[in-house]
Structure 1
Amino acid sequence: MAKILRNPALAADAAGQLHTVRIKTPSGRDISAAWAEPAAAKAPALLLIHEWWGLNDQIKAVAAECARLGYGALAIDLYGGKVAANGDAATAKSLMSSVQDKDADETLSTWIDWLRASPSVEGGVATLGWCFGGGWSLAASIRRPVEATVIYYGRVDRTADELRHLKGPVLGHFANRDANINHQMVAGFEAAMKEAGKACQLYWYEADHAFANPTTARYDEADAKLAWSRTLDFLKKNLG
């Protein structure tokens, strides 16, 4: 998969396998996402949440790979169609800062409801997000409890009262050299999960933030492969 993600042409080709779905939220906002149809008539589903770059071909290519592995995969968009070019941190930061928590919560819960109602989905739903999307993966699972939650180096500073809303276990991948999503934050999350009586598997890698993104200088191939293997094992165990 890393070979595809590193190559813009291959990533675009994989992204082209998805089709756009559009719906309205309960408040009347128009939202869209990219849907990768599962090979089977019915399959478990994954809700994928993009990094601060936005819903780009890379995330869509991951969704295509998840569909190849037997899941329905919905790559959602929290930026309303806007995407920062790879490496354009200033634009990415501006897009991320423009997200309103209330709207993002509604978008995520609306898409989870859509997956639950989809005739293609059977066997449960999981959320999966990276960086900015990692934090929203956890937020989505709090707002609309799902069977499993996967977080790649996302914000996890939540209280035990909030975490009691979780239904399924949480898998977290974190980096020792990450200055922001650090040991202090994750230790607080682990303690809060324990207080809430919720299960989690948290892994640390000798890497930096965004180590699983092949398009960045921080990419760590060995750790990215290990994290993805653990993610697939976790999803298989909790979704089938």
Structure 2
Amino acid sequence: MTDFSAAHRQLVDSVAGPDGARLDETVVTYEHDGAPMEGYSVHDAAVAGPKPAVLIVHDWTGLREYPKARAQMLAKLGYFAFCADIYGTGRRFDDHEGAAAEAGKYYGDLALMRARVRAAYDVLAANPEVDASRIVVTGYCFGGSASLEFARTGAPLAGTVSFHGRLVTHDPAEVGLINGPVLVLTGGADPVVPDESIAAFQAELRTRPDLDWQVNTYAGAEHGYTLPEGPYHAAADRRSWRAFEAFLEEVFHGG
């Protein structure tokens, strides 16, 4: 099992999981346009497949411990979780300057951002343990933005969830191809996503009257409110995770 730091282990342990669970972790190597990628998958091998799946896109530091901890939490709930590698093998950052520069490459080239998520989606959908008709994409910060961008491509998703992601709007509106409902979980004290950004994003969503969407805003929560190493906000983390669980139950099981 992954040797998590204390803060990330606490996240994993916050989900009890069923008796007899057997989490099966795998480092998954794949490519996009010749560039090597190194993703991470985990699922409960004691649960018969194929399983509904969640594709997780990392924050701007790359595929480090945090998304893997969230993946294990999802695996304990019976889902197949796969962490995408958007940056490529070995491209991980522990400084803001490096992370900002790397993330900026993708914010400046949304087509590349979307294609990197698609490469991970294709790997996940091809896994025999996965029910390819039931895949949700989610992400944190940079990953939240990437998830929303991927949804705009018309990918056959059961739903899309963004945790404290930047809300990029498009003019003209580009929401016509989104499949499944959309859930945005954002901080009420996030300077990266101020009220006017939320309003503009919602206005774009409203251009498609049949689109099912929710935006939940958490008082006092700053950008990165779910990250233990960030401006962590316990209440917002707890509430947004519960909203996420309810969303997955609804889109996967009709609950």
Whether the TM-score (by the shorter chain) exceeds 0.5 is yes
Is there any run of 5+ residues in structure 1 with no aligned partner, and where? none
Distance 1:77 1:19, change over 3 A: same
2:96 equivalent to 1:84: no
CA contact (8 A) 1:11 1:57 kept: no
SS of the aligned residue for 1:102 comes to helix
State yes or no: 1:224 paired with 2:237: yes
8 Å CA contact 2:24–2:44 kept in 1: the answer is: no
Which position in structure 2 is the counterpart of 1:131?
A: 141
Question: Does the 8 Å CA contact 2:42/2:81 hold for their aligned counterparts?
Answer: yes
1:24 is matched with which residue? 31
Which residue, 58, 63, 84 being the options, matches 1:50?
A: 58
TM superposition score normalised by structure 1: 0.87
What is the CA distance between 1:11 and its match in structure 2?
Answer: 8.0
Asked if the contact 1:5/1:58 (under 8 Å) is kept, the reply is: no
CA change 1:28–1:92 in 2 (3 A) is closer
Higher helix share: 1
User: How many residues get paired?
Assistant: 231
Q: Is the 8 A contact 1:108 1:140 kept in 2?
A: yes
Give the conservation status (yes or no) of the 8 Å contact 1:148–1:239.
no
- The partner residue of 2:246 within 233, 237, 240 is 233
Cα deviation, residue 208, structure 1: 1.0
- Residue of structure 1 aligned with 2:72, choices 64, 67, 72: 64
* Fraction of identical pairs, as percent: 26
Aligned-residue CA RMSD in angstroms?
2.4
Q: Secondary structure at the match of 2:217?
A: strand
Aligned to 2:227: 213
Tell me: CA distance 1:58–1:38, structure 2 relative to 1, closer, same or farther (3 Å). same
Partner Cα distance (2:135, 2:204) in 1: 23
Distance 2:246 2:9 in 1: 29
Query: Within 5 A, what are the aligned runs for 1:91-170?
Result: 91-99=98-106, 100-122=109-131, 123-143=133-153, 144-159=155-170, 161-170=173-182
Q: Secondary structure at the match of 2:54?
A: strand
Q: 2-side partners of 1:10 and 1:169: how far apart?
A: 30
Kept after mapping to 1: 8 A contact 2:56/2:81: yes
> What is the DSSP-based 3-state SS (H/G/I as helix, E as strand, rest coil) of the residue aligned with 1:162?
coil
Q: Which stretch shows the higher mean deviation, 185-194 or 29-38?
A: 29-38
Check if 1:201 corresponds to 2:210: no
- How far does residue 17 in structure 1 lie from its aligned partner after superposition? 5.7
Partner of 2:206, secondary structure, is helix
1:10 Cα shift? 7.1
Gap change, CA 1:212 and 1:10, over 3 Å in 2: closer
Residues 74-117 of structure 1: CA deviation (Å, up to 9, x unaligned): 101112122122xx212221221244533332221122222222
Q: Deviations over 1:153-208 (max 9, x none)?
A: 21223336411110111111111211121111111111111112311111111111
| Structure 2 alignment gaps of length 5 or more | 13-22
Question: Match for residue 180 of structure 1?
Answer: 192
Do the aligned partners of 2:53 and 2:79 also contact (CA within 8 Å) in 1? yes
In the alignment, residue 165 of structure 1 is paired with which amino acid?
Answer: L
**TM-score, with length taken from structure 2:** 0.82
